Amino acid sequence: MLQREIDLESAADIAQFEANLDRYLSGDLPEDVFRVIRLNNGIYGQRQGGTNQMVRVKFPYGSATPEQLEMCAHIAERYSRGWGHITTRQNIQFHFVQLTDVPQVMRDLASVGLTTREACGDTVRNIQGCHLAGACPFEVLDISPWAEAAFQYFLRHPFGQRLPRKFKINFSGCATDCGQAMFNDVGVVGVTRTLDDGTVEAGFRVYLAGGLGATPHPALALEDFTAREELLPTIEACLRVFEQEGNRRNKLRARMKWLVDTLGWEELQQRILAQRRLLPAIAGWPGGLPEEVVKHGDAPAGLQTGVTPTPVGHGTPVALRATRPYDRWVEANVVRGAAKGTVSAYAWARLGDLTAEQFRALAAIQRDLGLEVRLTNRQNVVYRGLSEHQLPVLYARLEALGMAEPGAELARDVVACPGADTCNLAVTQSRGLADAIGAALEEAGLSEVGGVRTNISGCTNSCGQHHAADIGFFGAERRVHGRSAPGYQMLLGGYVGQERIHFGEKALRLPAKHAPQAAVRVVARFAAEREAGETFRSWLERAGGARAVAEDLRDLDAFPEPDQAPDFYVDYGETGPYVAEVGASECAT
């Protein structure tokens, strides 16, 4: 892999971390102080304790180079357990990294332009962006250079180092909102406005104070239109108000969404706009368009004449009609319609996991075919800039990796957080349930039903984004027959897109071992009853809502006696009796 000299800022970060690690290991630095240092550098403790750490690597707006993918293979093999995990925020995580190895891991990553800094902790987290930005036939403008500019500007930003709580920023190039701007602290969506002289101006609508977690909150529009020159000042103003007004006494009420309750929406708007107006008075304020935007431009991909653009976004009504595996992959995983005539194609990563072998092979494909790569918030990989004649080549190479299943926007594409495998807060093995649901859908012949998303979290905190999925599950301990048992709350009808969000509504509670059957029944009913092109959300409303659909699942909310079915009292992937062990929160999401 091609490595380069580590930049001075990254080298200083790593040297400082290593010095603090030495102090901590020698007993000169208290645990609580080192924890903050560790988290601000993207290093998260695991439930296994000891020196086991999770290392979270930032991939701003999902962009990755061949050298970076190859480095991930090296990290997975040398320091982790042979594979890495794509997160719902376009990071890659490596688990079971030993604490003493972390400085060298950081150096290896920095040698290919990657960083872990501020991937965890009370900081500005990874800047997310639509994985089709610059290649989407529907976009208003290409948000890629804007997301890159925001990443560069807010990394190591003085106001972002010790915030009241984490701060998340998302970009989408159009109202389809594949970047999921509607449930973040700051969500940016590309829009247009018509001026008095009839010309159309592209800009943004900035949404604030969205969030998931135990108490989800929809994002609210700061103003109808934000000009391109005003975007970074607007985001900085939001950050400054949050830093000043966020709750530092109670982390459970510290996210930006709570400022809507404590300050009131109008007051929050006024304070942010007042901050923005005064930013030009700050020494060194750059002003104007960011350098990245000036250098690379932000013109949209546009529409190709005579080509019907492939539908994208939540609720896409994918229908597979072909019989050949290659043709079915094209129907589900290929996006056409960009004016420049190129196409994009998804490589499906089961459970968001990539082995070292797959990392290297994906890098080789990218290099050999001269493509762009983006990681998606549904834990897959997208190749962009393809020509039509490259599609069969890409398919053959992905097939050899086990990554050519039709997965994009189909029922088999189940998303899950790491769960109790490694996370301190999880109470269930969410990855195990995701695997079981995928297998149950395959067995029932339902894995290729289009337009239905299933997301799973191992607790209420929604790292798996269960609130925003058609079918959502979050883990919960159940007490039955005098025993603890793994269970889930099922939600139905979550949706994000078209500049709106619906949070999933509670359907019913289930034993973990019955959750796959429940998912199969719901998907089967949706497939049988939906009208042509109908979304899951629309079908659910016709069917009477989440509670009505849940009535047909009531028989599944029952635990057999422990001696009759002992497996109901053992979680997925475990061998011993279920125990809900919850450690101290380190702000994993």
**What is the set of domains in the chain, with CATH numbers?**
8-110 (3.90.480.20), 140-296 (3.30.413.10), 325-401 (3.90.480.10), 415-569 (3.30.413.10)
CA distance 260 to 25: 42
Average pLDDT of the segment spanning 557-575:
95
Please give the distance of CA 339 from its chain centroid, rounded to a whole number.
Answer: 28
Write the single-letter amino acid at 232: L
Quote the radius of gyration of the chain (alpha carbons, Å): 23
Reported pTM: 0.96
CA distance 353 to 356: 10
pLDDT confidence band for 319 (50 / 70 / 90)? confident
Closest CA to 209 of 241, 187, 237: 187
Find the helix or strand (DSSP H, E) in which 332 lies.
helix 325-333
Q: Which residue has the higher pLDDT, 537 or 424?
A: 537
pLDDT confidence band for 575 (50 / 70 / 90)? confident
User: Residue 368 has what DSSP assignment?
Assistant: H
Tokens of 172: 């989408």
Distances (CA, A) of 265 to 167, 211, 256: 18, 15, 11
Average pLDDT of the segment spanning 60-65:
98
Average pLDDT of the segment spanning 475-491:
96
Tokens of 364: 């080789």
Tokens of 81: 């357990």
Per-residue pLDDT of 137-151, as tens digits, reads 999 999 999 999 999
Task: With a cut of 80, say whether residue 422 has pLDDT above it.
Answer: yes
555 by DSSP, 3-state: which? Answer: helix
CA distance 583 to 297: 46
pLDDT at 1: 65
Write the single-letter amino acid at 177: D
Per-residue pLDDT of 358-381, as tens digits, reads 999 999 999 999 999 999 999 999
pLDDT at 4: 76
Average pLDDT of the segment spanning 466-471:
98
Task: With a cut of 80, say whether residue 50 has pLDDT above it.
Answer: yes
CA distance 393 to 43: 38
pLDDT at 370: 98
Find the helix or strand (DSSP H, E) in which 394 lies.
helix 391-401
Percent of the chain with pLDDT over 70: 98
**If you write DSSP's letter for every residue of 458-472 in order, what string do you get?**
SSTT-TT-GGGSSEE
Flag the least confident range among 43-47, 220-224, 497-501, 585-589.
585-589
Per-residue pLDDT of 148-190, as tens digits, reads 999 999 999 999 999 999 999 999 999 999 999 999 999 999 9
CA distance 408 to 293: 30
pLDDT at 585: 63
pLDDT at 588: 40
**Which residues lie closer than 8 Å to 206 by C-beta, 6 or more apart?**
186, 187, 188, 189, 221, 222, 223, 226, 231, 234, 235, 238
For the chain, give the mean pLDDT: 95
Find the largest Cα–Cα distance for the chain.
Answer: 77
Distances (CA, A) of 54 to 39, 43, 131, 316: 10, 6, 25, 34
Tokens of 579: 């125990």
pLDDT at 583: 67
Tokens of 258: 């709570």
pLDDT at 568: 97
Task: With a cut of 50, say whether residue 589 has pLDDT above it.
Answer: no
Per-residue pLDDT of 326-357, as tens digits, reads 999 999 999 999 999 999 999 999 999 999 99
Per-residue pLDDT of 380-418, as tens digits, reads 999 999 999 999 999 999 999 999 999 888 999 999 999
The residue whose two tokens read 């309750």 is: 261
Task: Answer whether 125's CB lies under 8 Å from 159's CB.
Answer: no
Average pLDDT of the segment spanning 37-51:
92
**If you write DSSP's letter for every residue of 170-231 in order, what string do you get?**
EEESSTT-TT-GGGSSEEEEEEEEE-TTS-EEEEEEEEES-B-TTS-B--EES-S-B-GGGH
Per-residue pLDDT of 249-302, as tens digits, reads 999 999 999 999 999 999 999 999 999 999 998 878 888 999 999 999 999 999
138 by DSSP, 3-state: which? Answer: coil
SS3 per-residue string spanning 243-278: HHHCCCCCHHHCCCHHHHHHHCHHHHHHHHHHHHHH
pLDDT at 398: 98
Dihedral angle sign, alpha carbons of residues 155, 370, 132, 340: positive
pLDDT confidence band for 584 (50 / 70 / 90)? low
Beta partners for residue 83, in sequence order: 355
CA distance 342 to 358: 24
- Report the DSSP pairing between strands 343-347 and 43-45: unpaired
Phi, psi of 194 (to 5 degrees): -100, 125
Crossing angle for the helix pair 325-333 and 391-401, nearest 10 degrees?
Answer: 100
Task: With a cut of 90, say whether residue 458 has pLDDT above it.
Answer: yes
Write the single-letter amino acid at 425: L
CA distance 203 to 141: 8
Per-residue pLDDT of 215-231, as tens digits, reads 999 999 999 999 999 99
Burial per residue of 550-577, b for 16 or more beta-carbon CB atoms within 10 angstroms, e otherwise: beebeebbebeebeeeeebbbbbeeeee
Sheet with 91-98, strands from edge to edge, namely 43-45, 52-58, 91-98, 83-86, 353-355
pLDDT at 47: 87
Phi, psi of 268 (to 5 degrees): -60, -45
CA distance 415 to 342: 28
Find the helix or strand (DSSP H, E) in which 53 lies.
strand 52-58
pLDDT confidence band for 317 (50 / 70 / 90)? confident
Closest CA to 461 of 425, 487, 491: 425
> Exposed, middle or buried, 48 (CB in 10 Å: 0-12/13-18/19+)?
middle
Distances (CA, A) of 325 to 18, 36, 365: 50, 49, 20
